[in-house]
Structure 1
Amino acid sequence: MRLPTRPICLSLLAGLLAACDTGGQSDSTAMIGDMPVEETVPRGPNNGRLLVDGGFVLELAIHETGVPPEFRAWVTEAGRPVAPGRVDLQVTLTRLGNRVDEHDFDPQGEFLRGDAVVYEPHSFVVTVDAGYAGRRLHWEYESFEGRTRISAEMAEAIGLETMVAGPVVIDETVTLYGAIVPATDLVREVSARFDGVIESVPVALGERVGAGQTLATVESNESLQSYLISAPIAGVVTERNANAGEQTGGRRLFTIVDTSTVWADLAVFPGDRDRVRVGANVTVAPATGGAGIDGTISYIDVLAAANQAVTARAVLDNSSGMLAPGTYVGAEVQVAAHAVPLAVRRSGLQSFRDFTVVYAKFGDEYEVRMLELGRQAGDWAEVLGGLDPGTVYVTGNSYVVKADVEKSGASHDH
């Protein structure tokens, strides 16, 4: 069963995800019933994690006050500080996708300072190796955040959609408003060629007629011969001023409009005049809803109206009949195209802590990727940092992954 893309209630979501192994759990969380709770992780005076081997104690913390996140470590033995220069320390971080980060340490004052940035997310298996006084010490622990596990069967059931992050052409658009009008070259006003008495009118107002179809029969006043008035084009009879027994009187008898092609007359205000150009692609949203209809700007008026806007005209295929002349519409007009090396669909964007993220997929595990974004337009957002090209990420129903990550309760471990 595929769930709808609109938000579903949290109770239903919890039920659907109950079968998932919530990989967001780290060794700092446990479960009571269905709710995660924090276990006590030994902490030192610098709020770092304490790693203990006999009387040797290493306090390891991620420090990010005033600097990019970095590791710092403090060492004691038998409760007494150990000079940082006496300790050889390396930390290895293993991330999803088998990405491995190596961090070496140098003495700085009373602590050891890591030589590399601990980039987001702070979600990894931590391996710590230390050398001190001829001894080798080793610790390993999990520190996960923003991570969860969802089986392939469950992902299909809840409608998760994914794609591969890569290069995209982002169309920059401006929004214009206007109205649908008939194309004047597809409007015909029909009168009698010779004045006379109208004998019959076999068509009704609003009727669709074909080219050459009889609209009326008229007896000429001069020759007293009957002749036919035929439709010059196929279209809809939008005006009928003819009834049997009347004189034609030189007046317009019918108007026929072909709405298979229509115009969207759009108002362009001064702030956008230098950006909208003839030939620009435009997508008009039908008033009835549904997919937009594409066309191009064919004409821009040189005279401004009383509201200071000029008219930009788009020619649109209306064979579907979705664009009724006289209705007001909105339109997106392309004003620039930007080729970017990496972009993601905006439908996949979610919030996580103070970041905008997508959820990267590695097998049946999903994890946040904190993004630095550039330009955004239409369906796409340019990615300047935080995501590797070629990463599979969630584009549809990503809020379900977010809810499961929040349910897992894994915290930001420093």
Structure 2
Amino acid sequence: MIAASLIFVLFTVAGILISERVQTSEIAAEEGADVAEVGAHNGRVLRDGDFAVELAIFERGVPPEYRVWVTNKGKPLDPQLVDITVQLTRLGGKKERVGFEPDQDFLRGNTVIREPHSFVVMLEARYQGKKYQWEYESFEGRTRIEPEIAESMGITTAVAGPAILRETTKVYGRLVVDPVRIREVRARFDGTVDSVRVELGERVSRGQPIIGINSNENLKTYTINSPIEGVVLERNANPGEQTDGRNLIVIADDGALLAELEVFPATRSRIQRGDTVWLRPRGTEKIVEGVIRQIDPVIRPNQSSTIRVSLQAPAEGLASGMFVAGNIQVAEYQVALAVKRSALQSYRDFTVVYAQVGDQYEVRMLELGREGGEWVEVLGGLEPGTRYVSENSYVIKADIEKSGAAHHH
């Protein structure tokens, strides 16, 4: 409930403070502005007297490309008679030039128009010795947020670049006392139990007297001391009983815990001794690092095997029997380009991040590869060195959606 209230407050503040936005569609316009004319091919119509050009992005069955239809006095012109060039200026000032060649009754652009289709468009046409020129904004998935507002909204950025991906697999199990730190106390010489000086669950120190035995050999009483520091797990003796070679007291070092985890064949084949494991005890937010110490060679009827994990730090606040969830590192990759998983958002049919240039933010459609830990490999759609929103990117998404982001051409 608290988290939901916080998100509501953030969006409310964003709605109040983010007052300056970049137009997100070449057709959508601010109130009172001229609405762009749409032509027969769902493109933008540009006019100069009787001469008119319709520019549209065509992407049905082909990679996105520009197509142009030209008319004069309302009648279609032979595309062979018109020379068209388009220059696109993207966020950050990068320019792309598009040339055109006649194709049937239109001119086809010679460059794939990559996503996002967000840029300043400058079109130049030459017909019968006369030059025509237009320039307009065609933005999508873009917004502007003042730096102070971005800071107050917790918007954090990072620079896209190489990263080490650590692939993990999920496993479950419980904590147990390390068996090498358990001591079973027996009488060296059988006899009668004279006294028991500890109770079940009591903590004892190394060398502390715990039980007295009256020996059958010399009828003298001798004392057995605790061999380790730990907790009494079992008390199997009471005064007056015979020892009979049995376990009288069992003491365990409860600070020496192992995790016993179940793994199945697909995971078992990918792990080995020495692999790193991150454990989260149930009901806590604590992360405990460990290392695989043993892989049980026996496969159980349910096809699982037990692996035993040594904890790398003292088991403060932990206890034997606690259930744990673990992540085992099964692979490590160095990739040339990656972004943080926390940066990813959905936009139309794409997974995206939001690039930052100054006080402007714009969508970047990604082709993703492998995932590992907090990182996701980027195969396409983002240039190395791009600054992107790594935390609270949902604020940018919400502002773009509130602005009416569209995808018209």
TM over 0.5: yes
Identify which range, 11-20 or 196-205, moves more after superposition: 196-205
Cα distance change of structure 1 residues 39 and 185 upon mapping to structure 2, 3 Å threshold: farther
Cα distance change of structure 1 residues 9 and 301 upon mapping to structure 2, 3 Å threshold: closer
Quote the residue 1:406 is aligned against: 401
Quote the residue 2:43 is aligned against: 48
Cα distance change of structure 1 residues 373 and 147 upon mapping to structure 2, 3 Å threshold: same
Quote the residue 1:231 is aligned against: 226
- Structure 1 letter corresponding to 2:21: T
Deviation at 1:95, TM superposition (A): 1.2
| 1:264-313, Cα deviation, whole Å (9 max, x unpaired) | 22222233332222222222221133143222222222222222222222
SS at match of 2:266: helix
| 1:151-207, Cα deviation, whole Å (9 max, x unpaired) | 222222222222211112222222222222211111112234345665655544323
Question: Is 2:266 the partner of 1:271?
Answer: yes
Quote the residue 1:92 is aligned against: 87
Aligned mate of 2:299, from 304, 307, 311: 304
Identify which range, 354-363 or 377-386, moves more after superposition: 377-386
Quote the residue 1:178 is aligned against: 173
Aligned mate of 1:329, from 324, 330, 337: 324
Quote the residue 1:314 is aligned against: 309
Quote the residue 1:16 is aligned against: 14
Deviation at 1:73, TM superposition (A): 0.8
Deviation at 1:356, TM superposition (A): 0.7
Calculate percent identity across the aligned residue pairs.
50
Aligned mate of 2:162, from 164, 167, 172: 167
Which whole-Å CA distance do the structure 2 matches of 1:330 and 1:150 have between them?
41
State whether residues 17 and 154 of structure 1, in contact with CA within 8 Å, keep that contact through their aligned partners in structure 2: no
Question: Is 2:108 the partner of 1:113?
Answer: yes
TM-score, normalised to structure 1's length? Answer: 0.89
Supply the RMSD in Å over aligned alpha carbons: 2.6
State whether residues 21 and 143 of structure 2, in contact with CA within 8 Å, keep that contact through their aligned partners in structure 1: yes
SS at match of 1:29: coil
State whether residues 5 and 396 of structure 1, in contact with CA within 8 Å, keep that contact through their aligned partners in structure 2: no
Which whole-Å CA distance do the structure 2 matches of 1:19 and 1:119 have between them?
32
Question: Is 2:204 the partner of 1:209?
Answer: yes
Cα distance change of structure 1 residues 144 and 354 upon mapping to structure 2, 3 Å threshold: same
Aligned mate of 1:289, from 280, 284, 287: 284
Aligned mate of 1:377, from 356, 372, 378: 372
Identify which range, 121-130 or 294-303, moves more after superposition: 294-303
State whether residues 201 and 243 of structure 1, in contact with CA within 8 Å, keep that contact through their aligned partners in structure 2: yes
Which whole-Å CA distance do the structure 2 matches of 1:87 and 1:280 have between them?
67
State whether residues 14 and 395 of structure 2, in contact with CA within 8 Å, keep that contact through their aligned partners in structure 1: no
Cα distance change of structure 1 residues 392 and 261 upon mapping to structure 2, 3 Å threshold: farther
SS at match of 2:173: strand
After superposition, residues 119-198 of structure 1 pair within 5 angstroms as 119-195=114-190
SS at match of 2:17: coil
Which whole-Å CA distance do the structure 1 matches of 2:301 and 2:402 have between them?
57
State whether residues 214 and 230 of structure 1, in contact with CA within 8 Å, keep that contact through their aligned partners in structure 2: yes
| 1:336-377, Cα deviation, whole Å (9 max, x unpaired) | 222211111222111100111111111221111101111223
Which whole-Å CA distance do the structure 2 matches of 1:401 and 1:214 have between them?
68
Identify which range, 404-413 or 288-297, moves more after superposition: 288-297
Deviation at 1:216, TM superposition (A): 3.8
Unaligned runs of 5+ in 2: none
Quote the residue 1:72 is aligned against: 67
| 1:251-272, Cα deviation, whole Å (9 max, x unpaired) | 4332221233322222222333
Which whole-Å CA distance do the structure 2 matches of 1:171 and 1:108 have between them?
50
| 1:192-231, Cα deviation, whole Å (9 max, x unpaired) | 4345665655544323333223334555565565544322
Cα distance change of structure 1 residues 316 and 225 upon mapping to structure 2, 3 Å threshold: same
Which whole-Å CA distance do the structure 2 matches of 1:282 and 1:79 have between them?
72
Which whole-Å CA distance do the structure 2 matches of 1:294 and 1:48 have between them?
58
Deviation at 1:57, TM superposition (A): 0.8
Unaligned runs of 5+ in 1: none
